[in-house]
Structure 1
């Protein structure tokens, strides 16, 4: 069985930050206008001010993310 690997933010994964979060928000809540700048610019809006974004990889695919 392959393990899940947790990695730090890298620009090539930013699209997954948005797509996975939008999918979750649309299923359980609503994507609001205030969410979009954060989802579109995770480095500028989350990481640069001092927070973290991480990703879960399973078999080389992004399967989760959080900030």
Structure 2
């Protein structure tokens, strides 16, 4: 596991990476939905201002290569969302340390529920989530699954 990855909090200077990194993987596998475009083009308004957080992973040679957000859905309930790593950094083991960092940050927040929404096509990501404490949840699917057309997997973090 790389120890030279640096995790950076959201800043306006880094906002462009939130768009480019996520747009890359979404368009590789799916198509951008209106909810994606809104959040990715104005992360301050859609994530930060309502009480969410965004982090970036910076590789010493490649620069900013990953991002992940916690989107506040309601009091104490957050969605882990828009986690992505650039194609150039895939295989460098950036995703798991980023996920673990965001989970550690989430545990320091006043939170009763941490969940995520994904798609069965994202098998590598689903495996990563399962390995790091997320379990499939029909309750989360019923409550939040309609947020994206592509959502057919909902998971809840078991450590909160």
Q: Which has the higher contact order (CA 8 A, sep 6+)?
A: 1
Q: Please report the RMSD computed on the Cα atoms of aligned residues, expressed in angstroms.
A: 1.6
TM-score by length of 2: 0.40
Size of the aligned set, in residue pairs, is 67
Structure showing the higher strand proportion among its residues: 2
| Residues 20-65 of structure 1 deviation map (CA, whole Å, 9 limit, x = unaligned) | 0000101122111221111011011001111110000011610000
Runs of 4+ in 1 over 4 A off after TM superposition: none
Output the CA distance in 1 between the equivalents of 2:44 and 2:4: 27
Output the CA distance in 1 between the equivalents of 2:35 and 2:47: 14
Contiguous gaps of at least 5 residues in structure 1: none
Contiguous gaps of at least 5 residues in structure 2: 70-160
TM-score by length of 1: 0.90
Q: Which has the larger radius of gyration?
A: 2
For 1:63, the equivalent position in structure 2 comes to 65
Structure showing the higher helix proportion among its residues: 1
